[in-house]
Structures are given as C-alpha cells and as structure tokens.
Structure 1
C-alpha cells in the first residue's frame, strides 16, 4: 500500500504519486490530493492505480455532476474545478511543446458534446469503463452529452427487448447490435440516430426501429462487417433526412454518420475565429480539409479557399457545405504529402492525431509565408515542428481552445511564419 500527495500530473492528465522508488499514476486524482493507493496494475510500462482512498482532498476538487464519475472513462477531470482545468491544460501544453499560450474556455461545460457513441453489450449499454477493455458502464445519464441521454438509452433498451436483438459480447465477439450513435445539432435542435449492427434489419425490425426512434430527424442503420470495437459501419438511411444540420455562427454544416465534425459545437466558433485571426492574404490552402469545417468558414469571410482531403466522401460533403453556404471554396481528393503547394498566402493544416510527418517537409520546401497548424495532439505537433517545420518556420503565436472540458485534452492553433 502506497501513501502520499499528488504533486504533479502526467502528460495524459493522471495524478502522479511518488512513493519511495515507486511512481504510480492515479486516474481521477488531482494536484494536492493526499491518497492511499490500495492496488496497482502494470500497463505500457507504467504502474497504474486500480483503486485508491482519498485521505485529504485537494482544494481544487469540486463535486462531480455525473453519478458514473470515477468509473466511466469519458471524464477523468470532472472532479476538478473548471478554472483549474484550464490552467493545467495550458501548463501541460507548455511542458510538452515549450510554447506558452492563452487558453479560451468552452462557453458551455455541460451538454456540449454533439455526438455520443453508446456501446451496446451483454454487460450493459453506455460508455467504456476506464482502464478495463472489457468493462462497460451501464449508463443512466451523461451530462456532458445531453439532457436527453436517459431518453435515448431507455428507447434503445426497450427496442432491443421488443425485437429480441442481441447486444454484442465483448468476449465471444458475437451479437447483433454493437453501438448506438446519437448526434445533436446543438444550434438547430436536429437529431440523428444511427444503430451500428452486425446484421441487416428485417422489415418488422425496421418498422419497430422507426417507431421507437421517431424523435430522430435522421435515422440510419449501419451494417458492421468486422468485429472491431469501434462505431463504424456502412450506413443505410431508414427514415428521415440523409443529413442533419449544425449552425456555427453564420455557417451551416451538413452532418452524415460518416462525417467527422468537431465534438463541441459551442467552442467550435472560438476555434474557427482563432484560425481566421491567424489567416492572412487572399489564397488559402486547407490541407486535411475534412468536411470543410475551416475552409467553408474562411470562404464565408472572403478568402479564396482550396481544400485537399484523402477521403472522397468527406470531399463530397465539403463541396456540399460550400454550395449550401454559397461560398468560393473548392475541395478535391488528394494525399497531403503528395500535394504540390503553389502560390498560397496561408496554409491551414489540421492533420490526424499522428501529425503531418512527410507533409511537413513539403511545407518546408514550399514558398508559403504562413502556416496555421491546428492540433489536439501536442506531442505530434512537437515532433512535426522539431523534425521538419523548424527548418523554415518559427512559432509566432498560439491559442488554446478547450473543446474537451473535464478531460486533459485541448485544441491548439499555432501560427508559424517563414
């Protein structure tokens, strides 16, 4: 048994307890907590606390709103004062990258998520348990997603009961229904329900699906052909509209089950403004453009935008969004690392979590004066900068936007000048 005080946090937001020659990483523990660790497990070369007793609570602690806090893996920092969350995110970002940056808090810290993927298993329906790949928290609420979460889950459970569809077994890898994905347009009130299943619905099941989920403006059934533990399948529209809409400021975006869209609608406008403020000139290249989240917003402000994205469906959605908003933006399919970077004034990059890698060298060899790098992974940004971008660019300024309250994650917008 190890006792001590949490004096620092790990890069991924766990409390770090130093007891003699042992270092233990403690989920749900915060700076200043006096704790007693009762048992540990080894994971990825670290000792992780399985459970601990709080002997002396940190002054930074607050009462968590969700009854599932401490077990659910969604919100490790929900027991931490929100002002302290912001300060710690800025400190962690500076520790990893060496960059001191102002942080902007989320306008809402409850009910801000516009999507939730509820796993449906023989152990319950809800979200994954922290640190247990086979553990599922049988949810009754989720205050960070929606006030309607209890209704969504009640409907799901009643639907499964009536139809006899089997929930997925994480151990045996068998079952019919694996996930329920619900998306909400926070500013439009539109709802999309998408059931991810391992079999097609019969006519009778499809009818029951329509009846139970009649609250949804868009209703999809996605066929999942693999056993992978993720909410992906081949979507088929069962009822309603093929898209729901979300409106951020003066821009409307179409959302489809296969669309990636930033999860915090309320903080997204802060992120878009930060990118706009760092963008200069007339011609903008939106590399890794996705569904046009940045490109369409910038085009609405008079920039001439071209976007490159490897996913053909995302490109189709981006062009639809450009047309819907009547803006001068063209998006096309292409690999970022193979894109000739011509005469652009600013290049926006929002790479996947692994970072730019080879595409960083392409930017170095281009003549572009400024790069706006958007990232939710400071370690990937640091590698890109140290290995590639530093050869030609210096960091001018950075803004952090808290897209993910109650977690250690933060979105960064970094301005690089040649």
Structure 2
C-alpha cells in the first residue's frame, strides 16, 4: 500500500465515475475517489481519507480538463449537495447512468447479457423538480433558506445569494425568495436564543393545477405570531395551503411528529393524465412530472394488461401506479405500510371513481408472504420499494409462489441488481431494463425492469 497521509497532495489521471458521480483515478496503484473530477481530467488533489482499499481526495486544481468536462450552469455547484454531475454534458450524463446500471447488474447481481435499453432522458433537463426542501439557517443575523453542502449541515447554496436552483421549478424558486424575506420579517419570533425554530421549509407544486403547498417543519408546536406568518405566506405566489410539521428530530421528514394545517385544505390536487391525485404534506409523489408519465407508461407497457389480470402494487404509496393501471386490469390491490399514504390512496381511488382498486395497510414483507401462501398471488406484481430495495422475505415469497409477470421499479441500481440476482436464481428471467432519467444533473437513475417466469413465454400467451 502506498505510504500517503491525509493532507498530502497527489497528481493523477481520472479514468471513470463512481456510482455517486465522483471521479475515479489511481495513484501508485491505489484507487482514489475525487469529487468534482471527470474522466479525462488530470488533477491535483489533497488526500483527506486513507483506507485499506482506496483513498479519498479533495480536488484542488484541474491541471488538464478532460473532453467530457463542461461549465456548470450553477455557480454554487461545487459547494452545494443538490446536484452531482452538472459539470458533465447531458448526453454524457445519460451514458454514465446507463453504464452505472449495466455495471451494477454485472458486479452486484452477477447478471450478464441483460438487455439494458438507452436511458430515457429529458428534452429540457432543467427546472424539473415540483418539490424541494430548503433548510433554514441563522446566518449573518438573517434567516437563510438553502441546500446543504455535501456531507454537512452547512448551507452550500443560499437563495438570497444564488437566487435560483437550476433543477427546481421556476415558480418555486421565486416563492422561496419571497418566503425568505417573509421569514426575516418574523425573525425574532422564529428564534429560540441563537437557534431557529424552523428546521426546513418544503415547497410542493401541483404542476397541472398550479396549487402550491408550503410546509414549515418546526421544533415546537407553537410560536409567537404563528397565525400572522401563515396568513402572509398564503398571500404570496400561488400558495393554496400552509402546513406545519413538528419533527421528532431535526431534519426528519415524513410520517414523524405531528402535522396540522395552518391555512387552506391541508392538501393540493394534481393530475397525471386523466387521473386526479390528492397530495398531503407527507404523500410520496414523484418530483419530476414530465418523467413520471414516461416512467408509468413504461410500467403499464411491461405489465401487459388485457383487462383480465389481477394486479398487486407493492409499496404503493398514495396509489399512483395502482390507479394508473386500474382501467386496464380486472382488479388491483395496493399494499403500503404508511397509514397516511393508504388514506390518501383510498381517497384518490374515490376521486377517480375507480371501484376495482383496494388498498391494505401493512409491511409488504409481512403481508406478501401471507397472501401468497393463501393462494392470493396476482397475475402481475409491481414492486416499487424504497431505496433499500425489497426485504428478503418478499423475494423468498416470490421464489416459493412464482408470479407470471413482475415489473420492478427501482431508484437504486445497486439494490435492484441485488434483488434481480436473487430472483434470477429462483425461477425468473430478467427480460429487459429501461432506465429513466428522473433526476437530471444528479447521479440518481430510476429503472423499470420486466421479469417473467423462466419457463413461461409471455409473448405467446
């Protein structure tokens, strides 16, 4: 192992990108991860971490830029954790994400020869987010809204200084600036000594209707002039509701603490195609409205519905995929652990007059094996788990009671590859994987994967 200590500088050629968008090079045979470096760069970097199998270094200077490097649109890119690959042209980002999926399938899932289609990207990969969480900091005598620097609780992007986040919807950017000014009008009532009572402000916009929600995450249930602040928030932009979340712990989100409505209905209503969705402060809903439609159309294509199938949507959230498939299915069952999400899903089914959809509350890893063991397996199963992937008991239930067609939606290529590797060894064939770029300018990539029983030719059914 090379003898190098933290604080020493090294010069190296960057050869690749890691799964998190860091540059990867070698110095005296040792792998070195360098954030903000790109393939083809020759860089000078300071070692900040020494491990047995790798080094981590801080980029100091690009001595010779690689052909893939471009100028980031955002001047705060290097110090903000909101984006990871804005210094790469968009077509290169798409190639990187396709390679990331292929490499994960081969390295983690031990799957070779899987058909990975080109990534479905955006015509305009900017200002796509319809939801953003801005952290609140007490800075230079003012309350500031912004995004944390990578691996820290320090603002790397500050709305008052930077004025815009280039991946956030334009109206939400303008709203954030107005909210920051308003928070400072009420600054004294929002401070507890030197600390702010606000942990973060979440903005969510229903693009189809224009309705906008402001969520104030606080460390106390009440504070002075609370109603006055909520009233003024409701008069700016197109804000239709203001909600307060009292977090159990700072920076915790969804399904924790207490939620109450300070102004309006407590929810906003959006449309996806001909469907209507009611979204509360804790509802999970995809943040890229353009690509959400692309993603769900691919799910529906892979589901191959004829109107006769029983469909199960595991990890169904507020029922978006379940309802999107309902009109082409005989019946759909959604399974979700969050009681708030199930309540929203049932309400969404009523709003859309869909009577062939039902939702049950419970952990997928507990309910799915029980349903399968009772002979309640579906014709088509949609898996859309959180980033950690499927629980082992879910995969084992699929191995015991095979489903003819499985559509797996994943936001993490690593856990997707792990789960596909298990299923491929237990009676399933991975037909193809379609990556979808839900998060341009970041290292994240969504995938939709079609699996079928290895001994069934679904094309000839």
Quote the Cα distance in structure 1 between the aligned partners of 2:419 and 2:283.
26
Asked whether 1:127 is paired with 2:147, we answer yes
Which residue does 1:239 correspond to in 2?
263
In structure 1, the residue matched to 2:65 is: 57
Partner residue in 2 for 1:189 = 210
User: CA contact under 8 A between 1:243 and 1:254: conserved in structure 2?
Assistant: yes
Report the counterpart of residue 331 of structure 1 in structure 2: 359
Tell me, yes or no, if the aligned pair for 2:266 and 2:281 is still in contact at 8 Å. no
Structure 1 residues 187 and 107: CA distance shift in structure 2, 3 A = farther
Cα distance, 1:136–1:13 mapped onto 2, change above 3 Å:
closer
RMSD between aligned residues: 2.3
Change (3 A) 1:45 1:404: farther
Q: 1:312 to 1:79 in 2, by over 3 A?
A: same
Aligned pair in 2 of structure 1 residues 25, 229: CA closer, same or farther (>3 Å)? farther
Name the structure 1 match of 2:164: 141
Q: Give the superposition deviation at 1:349.
A: 0.5
Please report how far the alpha carbon of residue 370 of structure 1 lies from its aligned counterpart in structure 2 after TM superposition: 1.1
Name which of 24, 31, 35 aligns with 2:43. Answer: 35
Contact between 1:395 and 1:415, CA under 8 Å: does it hold in 2?
yes
Q: Give the structure 2 partner of residue 113 of structure 1.
A: 129
Mapping for residues 271-290 of structure 1, pairs under 5 Å = 271-281=295-305, 282-290=309-317
Give TM-score scaled by structure 2 length.
Answer: 0.84
What is the 5 A alignment of 1:167-206? 174-202=195-223, 204-206=225-227
1:221·1:238 contact (CA, 8 Å) conserved in 2? yes
- Is the contact made by 1:90 and 1:100 (CA closer than 8 Å) also made in structure 2? no
- Tell me if structure 2 keeps the 8 A contact 1:3–1:19: yes
Deviations 1:155-181 (A, max 9, x none): 333333222144699xx9x53111000
**1:23/1:167 Cα in 2 relative to 1: closer, same or farther (>3 Å)?**
farther
Residues in 2 aligned to 1:351 and 1:362: alpha-carbon distance in whole angstroms: 15
Q: Is the 8 A contact 2:69 2:88 kept in 1?
A: yes
Residue in 2 aligned with 1:319?
Answer: 346
SS of the equivalent of 2:300 reads helix
- Aligned counterparts of 2:245 and 2:319: Cα–Cα separation in 1: 24
User: 1:270-328, CA deviations, whole angstroms, 9 ceiling, x for partnerless residues?
Assistant: 11011101113521011111111110000133452111111111111111111111222
Matches within 5 A, 1:261-300: 261-281=285-305, 282-300=309-327
SS of the residue corresponding to residue 73 of structure 1 reads coil
Distance 2:52 2:449 in 1: 30
Which is higher, the Rg of structure 1 or of structure 2?
2
Range with bigger deviation, 152-161 or 93-102: 152-161
- Judge conservation of contact 2:399–2:427 (CA < 8 Å) in 1: yes
Tell me what 1:152 maps to: 175
1:101 pairs, out of 112, 116, 126, with 116
Q: 1:228: Cα distance to partner?
A: 4.7
The CA deviation at 1:233 is 4.4
- Show the counterpart of 1:350: 384
- Structure 1 residues 132, 50: CA separation in 2 closer, same or farther (over 3 Å shift)? farther
> Following the alignment from structure 1 to structure 2, what is the Cα–Cα distance between the partners of residues 43 and 206?
53
2:246 is the alignment partner of 1:223: yes
Contact 1:364/1:389 (CA < 8 Å) preserved in 2? no
What residue is the counterpart of 1:83 in the other structure? 91
**1:161-172 counterparts in 2 under 5 A?**
161-163=184-186, 164-166=188-190
State the SS of the aligned residue for 2:80: coil
Tell me the matched-pair count. Answer: 415
Cα distance in 2 for partners of 1:111, 1:167 equals: 32
Distance 1:65 1:44, change over 3 A: farther
- Residue 253 of structure 1: SS of its match in structure 2? strand
Superposed CA offset, 1:129-182 (max 9, x none): 02334454323311101223443333333333222144699xx9x531110000
- CA distance in 1 between counterparts of 2:342 and 2:69 reads 44
Q: 1:28 to 1:237 in 2, by over 3 A?
A: same
Matched, 1:369 2:404: yes
* Compared CA separation, residues 386 and 304, structure 1 to 2 (3 A): same
CA distance in 2, matches of 1:371, 1:329: 19
Per the TM alignment, residue 17 of structure 1 is displaced from its structure 2 partner at its CA by 1.9
Q: TM-score, normalised by structure 1?
A: 0.92
Counterpart-to-counterpart distance in 1, 2:451 and 2:52: 34
Gaps of 5+ in 2: 1-8, 107-113, 454-461
